Amino acid sequence: MAEFSGEPRGEGRRVVVVASRFNESITVPLAEGAVKTLVARGVAFDDVDVVWVPGAWELPVAVRRALATGKYDAAVVVGAVIRGGTPHFEFVAGEAARGIMEASRDFEVPVTMGLLTTDDMAQAEARAGGAHGNKGEDAALAALEVLDVFDRAFLHDEGEEDDA
- What's the per-residue H, E or C state across 105-161? HHHCCCEEEEEEEECCHHHHHHHEEECCEEHHHHHHHHHHHHHHHHHHHHCCCCCCC
- Which residue in 88, 98, 105, 156 is the catalytic one? 88
Contacts of 77 (CB under 8 A, 6+ apart): 17, 18, 19, 59, 63, 100, 111, 112, 113, 114, 115, 139
Known active-site residue 156: no
How long is the chain?
Answer: 164
Q: Which residues are catalytic?
A: 88
